C-alpha cells in the first residue's frame, strides 16, 4: 500500500501573547515541533507498512524551516518527505491550504491511502483533512481509531462518531484522519537520523504544480479574512484572594457554603 | 483583500533583522539581502506594525477578488445534528443564535435535516423558532456516510441559497462541514465562540487563534455561503415554544446522489460514560500538579463536592487523564455552575472551553496566571497546601449536613 501522511510544523509552545495595552503580539521563543496529533497518523502509517508492505511518504506545507518536521518523520521511519513551500502560499486559510496540498498530492501519485492527524495545535481547526478529501474527490473518514486492510482494494476503518463507534468498509483510494491517542507513536531513531541525508526531503514549489495560478493559493486563494486580532476579554469583577494557605482554604470554603455547594 | 509589499529602498542589515524578529510565524525570510514572504506568513501585519517604519506596508487591492452578489444569498441555516429522532442539543443552541443573527438583516432561519425517519425531529425543530425545515429523508441516509451527506447538503445550498450556515462542531459536523465548504470553495471558520451579523450579511466570526492567547475576528467577505462550526455548550439554547411555527419542506435528490462505495459494517452505541460537558460541578487539574499521583488530591475534593474531575491539555497529552476529561478547544466545552481549577494556567484554548461557567474559582501560585483573567475568584496560593485544607473543610461541612 502506498501511503501519504500530511504533517505540519507548529510552534513549540503557545508562547505567543498579545500585549493588552498596545494590542501587539509579543514573541518569545520561536522553537517549533512536529504537530503532536500528526504523530498518531505517522505511527498508523508505519504500522500499516509493517503489516502490509509498501511505502510511507510525508507531505507538509510551510516555510523552508518546516523541513525539520519532515526530517523528524523520516527519523521515525517514514521513507521520504516532500515540503511544499513557496512565497505564493503565504497567508493561506484552510481552503487555500487544502487546495495547495491537493495539488502536491496529485504530483505524488500513485497513492492508496492519505492519512492526516486530527487537528493541529496551532490552528486547531481540524478542517484541512476533510477539505483535502473533497479537493481530491475521495471518501474520507474522521476520528479513526483503527485501520486494517480488508483486501487489496479496501480498508476496514473504525471511527469514533460522537455517541457511537462505527466500523465501515472504505474503498481505496481514501483519506483517513486519525483520532488522538489511538496508538503509541514511536520515537525518532538516532540511527535513522544519522542515515537520513538532507535529500530524504525534497521541495515542491508553485512551479512544480499542475495549477500554477498564484490567485488560487495563499492569501488570494483564501475565502476567509482575519479582520483583526485582539486579546481575550478579562473578567472585570473578579475577587482576588490572598493570604496564608489556611486563610485561602477557609475563604473558598465559605464561598462554597454561601453558594450552597457544600 | 490586501497584500504586503517590501520597499527595497529601506532594505539594510539592521532593518532586515528587525523585520525578521517582528514576525512570530517565520513568515519572512532573507535571501541575498532581500526580504521575501514565506508560506508561514499569516498576513497578521505585525511586520508592518512592529517592523522598521516604512519597510513593509500593507496595500489594499483595488478590486475585491471574486465578486459575489450577496443579495442572492438569504437566510441563516443550521445543520440539524441528530441521532435518529433525537436532536443533538447543539442544534437548539445554534437555532437560538441563528435567530439573533437573522434578526439583524431580517432574514429567515432555516434548518437542514438529513437522515431517515425524521418526522418527529422535524416537528420538534418547529418549536424552536425555525422558519422552515428542509428535510432529506431517505433510508440511504440512515447512517452517516460522508459522500451522500455532502451531496444532500450541496443540494440544499444550491436550492435554498442561505447566506450563512452554522454547523455543530461534533465529530460528524467537523467532518461534514469542511467537505461542503470546500465544494463551494468558500470559507469555514472552526469553533467560533462569538458570532455577529453585519448589515451587509457578512458573518463576523470570533475564535481563539494562533495557538492560544489571541482572539481572531474572521469574515468571509467575497464568498457565499459563509460556513462556521460552533461547539456544544458555547451558546444558550432557546426555550421550547408551546405552539410550533414555520413549515416543513420535503426535499428530493436523484438516487445516484445517495450512492457511495463506503459500506457500514457495524454501529455500536458508546457506553454511557459520564460526560463532563453535562457536569454542574467540575474540579479541573492543570500543570500545577507535579506528579500524576498528586491529582488524587483533586479527586478527593471532587468526590466530596459531587464534582466531575477534568484536566487541561498537557495532562491529557501526558495520559494522566482520559482525553474525554480534557477541557478546551481540543477537548470538551463545559458550562458548569461551579468550576474549581487547580494549577491551570488558563490559556485561551482552555478558557474557551469553560469560561461560560457560572462561578469560576481558580487556584494558582502565579499571580499573573492567565486563568485569573477569567476567574470570578482568583486564589493566589499553593494548591498543595490549599486543596487538603479545603478538602477538610468540605468533609466537615458534609458531616454536619448528614448529622
Could you report the per-residue pLDDT of B58-89, keeping only the tens digit for each? 887 655 555 789 999 999 999 999 988 899 99
Look up the ipTM and state it: 0.90
Instruction: Say which of A18, A90, A227 has its CB closest to residue B214.
Output: A18
- Pick the closest to residue B235 from B135, B75, B101 (CA basis): B101
Q: Map out the domains of chain B with their CATH numbers.
A: 2-60 (3.30.70.20), 70-258 (3.40.50.620), 276-402 (3.40.50.1220)
Which residue reads 486547531 in cell numbers? Answer: A124
Q: pLDDT-based confidence at A203, cuts 50/70/90?
A: very high
B321-324: long-range pairs with CB below 8 Å, 24+: B321/B285, B321/B295, B323/A180, B323/A181, B324/B273, B324/B275, B324/B276
Q: For residues B262 and A148, what is the distance between their CA atoms, to the nearest angstrom?
A: 15
Computed on alpha carbons and rounded to an integer, the radius of gyration of chain B in Å comes to 25
Q: For residue A174, what is the DSSP state? A: E
pLDDT at A181: 86
pLDDT at B402: 64
pLDDT exceeding 70 applies to what percent of chain A? 92
A58, part of any domain: yes
A138, part of any domain: yes
**Burial of B136 from C-beta contacts in 10 A (0-12 / 13-18 / 19+):** buried
A259, part of any domain: no
Cβ pair B389:A250 closer than 8 A: yes
CATH number assigned to the domain comprising residue A152: 3.40.50.620
Cβ pair B379:A252 closer than 8 A: yes
Which residue reads 538532507 in cell numbers? Answer: A198
Could you report the per-residue pLDDT of A65-78, keeping only the tens digit for each? 999 999 999 999 99
A14 pLDDT exceeds 60? no
pLDDT at A255: 92
Mean per-residue pLDDT of chain A? 91
pLDDT at A27: 47
Q: Which of A13-22, A85-94, A202-211, B109-118 has the lowest mean pLDDT?
A: A13-22
pLDDT at B178: 98
List the domain range (segments joined by +) for residue A132.
2-216
A261, part of any domain: no
A110, part of any domain: yes
Instruction: Say which of A91, A163, A242 has its CB closest to residue B42.
Output: A91
- Crossing angle between the packed helical segments A128-136 and A94-107, to the nearest 10 degrees: 50
Could you report the per-residue pLDDT of A46-58, keeping only the tens digit for each? 999 999 999 999 9
A184, part of any domain: yes
Task: Tell whether A126 lies on the interface with B, counting CB pairs under 8 A.
Answer: yes
> Which residues partner with A116 through β-bridges?
A6, A177
Q: What's the residue count for chain B?
A: 403
Q: For residues B185 and B181, what is the distance between their CA atoms, to the nearest angstrom?
A: 6
Number of A to B CB contacts under 8 A, please give it. Answer: 343
Domain count, chain A: 1
**Burial of A187 from C-beta contacts in 10 A (0-12 / 13-18 / 19+):** exposed
Task: Tell whether A139 lies on the interface with B, counting CB pairs under 8 A.
Answer: yes
Cβ pair B213:A18 closer than 8 A: yes
Computed on alpha carbons and rounded to an integer, the radius of gyration of chain A in Å comes to 22
Q: For residues A100 and B360, what is the distance between their CA atoms, to the nearest angstrom?
A: 43
Q: What's the whole-number mean pLDDT along residues B327-356? A: 91
How does DSSP assign A203-254, residue by residue?
Answer: EE-GGGSS---GGGSTTTT-S-EEEEEEPPP--TT-EEE-S-HHHHHHHHHH
Task: Tell whether A225 lies on the interface with B, counting CB pairs under 8 A.
Answer: yes
Task: Tell whether B323 lies on the interface with A, counting CB pairs under 8 A.
Answer: yes
Phi, psi of B385 (to 5 degrees): -95, -40
Q: Is the dihedral of CA A129, A130, A132, A136 positive or negative?
A: positive
B229 pLDDT exceeds 70? yes
**Burial of B14 from C-beta contacts in 10 A (0-12 / 13-18 / 19+):** exposed
A18 pLDDT exceeds 80? no
Name the pTM for this structure.
0.82
Could you report the per-residue pLDDT of B1-35, keeping only the tens digit for each? 678 889 888 889 888 988 888 887 778 888 888 88
How does DSSP assign A18-49, residue by residue?
Answer: E-TTT-PEE-----EEE-HHHHHHHHHHHHHH
Cβ pair A249:B378 closer than 8 A: no
Instruction: Say which of A62, A123, A240 has its CB closest to residue B380.
Output: A240
A232, part of any domain: no
SS3 (DSSP) at A190: helix
A164, part of any domain: yes
Q: For residues B80 and A23, what is the distance between their CA atoms, to the nearest angstrom?
A: 38
- Pick the closest to residue A94 from A63, A135, A149, A148 (CA basis): A135
Interface test with B, best of A33, A37, A90 (most B CBs within 10 A): A90
Contacts of A30 in chain B (CB under 8 A): 24, 26
Instruction: Find, in chain A, the residue whose alpha carbon is nearest to that of B176.
Output: A130
Mean per-residue pLDDT of chain B? 92
pLDDT greater at residue A231 or residue B162:
B162
pLDDT at A59: 98
List B residues 343-362 in contact with A (Cβ-Cβ < 8 A).
Answer: 347-349, 351, 359-361
- The minimum CA-CA distance between A245 and chain B, rounded to whole Å, is 5
Amino acid at each position: 500500500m502506498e501511503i501519504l501522511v500530511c504533517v505540519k510544523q507548529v510552534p513549540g509552545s503557545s508562547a505567543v501573547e498579545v500585549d493588552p495595552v498596545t494590542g501587539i503580539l509579543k514573541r518569545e521563543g520561536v522553537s517549533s515541533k512536529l504537530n503532536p496529533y500528526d504523530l498518531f497518523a505517522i505511527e498508523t502509517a508505519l504500522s500499516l507498512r509493517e503489516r502490509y508492505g509498501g511505502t510511507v511518504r510525508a507531505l507538509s506545507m510551510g516555510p523552508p524551516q518546516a523541513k525539520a518536521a519532515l526530517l523528524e518523520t523520516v527519523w521515525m521511519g517514514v521513507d521520504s518527505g516532500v515540503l511544499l513551500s513557496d512565497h505564493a502560499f503565504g497567508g493561506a486559510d484552510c481552503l487555500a491550504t487544502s487546495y495547495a496540498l491537493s495539488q502536491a498530492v496529485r504530483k505524488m501519485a500513485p497513492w492508496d491511502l492519505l492519512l492526516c492527524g486530527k487537528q493541529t495545535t496551532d490552528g486547531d481547526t481540524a478542517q484541512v483533512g476533510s477539505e483535502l478529501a473533497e479537493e481530491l474527490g475521495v471518501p474520507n473518514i474522521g476520528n479513526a481509531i483503527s485501520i486494517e486492510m480488508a483486501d487489496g482494494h479496501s480498508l476496514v476503518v473504525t471511527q469514533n462518531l460522537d455517541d457511537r463507534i462505527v466500523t465501515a468498509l472504505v474503498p481505496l483510494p481514501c483519506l483517513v484522519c486519525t483520532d488522538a491517542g489511538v496508538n503509541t507513536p514511536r520515537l525518532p531513531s538516532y540511527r535513522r537520523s544519522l542515515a537520513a541525508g538532507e535529500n530524504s526531503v525534497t521541495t515542491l514549489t508553485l512551479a512544480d504544480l499542475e495549477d500554477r495560478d498564484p490567485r488560487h493559493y495563499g492569501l488570494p486563494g483564501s475565502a476567509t479574512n482575519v479582520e483583526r486580532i485582539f486579546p481575550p476579554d478579562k473578567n472585570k469583577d473578579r475577587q482576588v484572594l490572598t493570604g496564608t494557605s489556611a486563610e485561602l482554604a477557609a475563604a473558598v470554603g465559605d464561598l462554597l457554603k454561601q453558594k450552597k455547594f457544600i | 483583500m490586501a497584500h504586503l509589499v517590501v520597499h527595497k529602498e529601506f532594505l539594510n542589515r539592521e532593518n532586515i533583522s528587525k523585520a525578521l524578529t517582528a514576525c512570530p510565524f517565520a513568515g519572512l525570510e532573507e535571501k541575498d539581502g532581500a526580504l521575501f514572504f514565506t508560506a508561514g506568513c499569516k498576513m497578521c501585519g505585525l511586520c508592518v506594525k512592529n517592523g522598521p517604519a516604512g519597510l513593509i506596508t500593507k496595500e489594499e487591492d483595488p478590486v475585491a477578488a471574486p465578486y459575489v452578489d450577496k443579495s442572492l444569498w438569504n437566510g441563516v441555516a443550521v445543520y440539524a445534528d441528530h441521532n435518529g429522532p433525537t436532536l443533538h442539543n447543539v442544534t437548539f443552541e445554534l437555532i437560538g443564535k441563528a435567530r439573533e443573527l437573522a434578526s439583524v438583516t431580517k432574514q429567515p432561519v432555516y434548518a437542514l435535516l438529513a437522515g431517515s425517519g425524521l418526522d418527529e425531529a422535524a416537528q420538534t425543530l418547529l418549536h424552536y423558532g425555525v422558519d422552515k425545515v428542509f428535510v432529506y429523508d431517505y433510508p440511504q441516509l440512515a447512517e452517516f456516510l460522508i459522500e451522500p451527506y455532502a451531496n444532500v447538503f450541496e443540494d440544499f445550498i444550491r436550492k435554498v441559497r442561505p447566506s450563512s450556515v452554522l454547523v455543530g462542531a461534533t465529530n460528524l459536523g467537523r467532518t461534514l462541514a469542511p467537505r461542503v465548504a470546500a465544494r463551494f470553495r468558500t470559507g469555514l471558520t472552526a469553533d467560533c465562540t462569538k458570532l455577529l451579523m453585519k448589515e451587509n450579511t457578512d458573518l463576523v466570526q470570533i475564535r481563539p487563534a494562533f495557538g492560544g492567547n489571541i482572539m481572531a475576528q474572521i469574515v468571509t467577505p467575497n464568498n457565499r455561503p459563509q460556513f462556521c462550526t460552533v461547539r456544544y455548550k458555547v451558546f444558550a439554547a432557546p426555550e421550547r415554544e408551546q405552539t410550533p411555527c414555520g413549515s416543513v419542506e420535503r426535499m428530493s435528490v436523484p438516487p445516484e446522489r445517495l450512492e457511495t462505495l463506503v459500506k457500514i459494517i457495524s454501529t455500536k452505541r458508546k457506553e454511557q460514560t459520564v460526560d463532563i460537558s453535562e457536569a454542574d460541578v467540575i474540579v479541573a487539574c492543570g500543570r500545577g500538579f507535579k506528579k500524576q499521583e498528586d491529582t488524587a488530591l483533586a479527586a478527593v475534593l471532587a468526590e466530596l463536592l459531587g464534582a466531575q474531575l477534568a484536566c487541561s491539555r498537557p495532562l491529557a497529552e501526558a495520559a494522566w487523564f482520559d482525553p474525554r476529561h480534557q477541557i478546551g478547544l481540543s477537548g470538551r466545552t463545559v458550562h458548569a455552575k461551579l468550576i474549581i481549577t487547580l494549577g491551570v494556567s488558563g490559556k485561551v484554548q482552555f478558557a474557551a472551553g469553560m469560561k461560560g461557567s457560572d462561578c469560576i474559582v481558580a487556584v494558582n501560585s502565579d499571580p499573573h496566571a492567565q486563568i485569573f483573567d477569567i476567574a470570578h475568584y482568583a486564589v493566589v496560593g499553593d494548591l498543595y497546601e490549599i486543596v487538603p485544607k479545603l478538602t477538610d473543610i468540605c468533609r466537615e461541612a458534609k458531616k454536619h449536613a448528614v448529622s
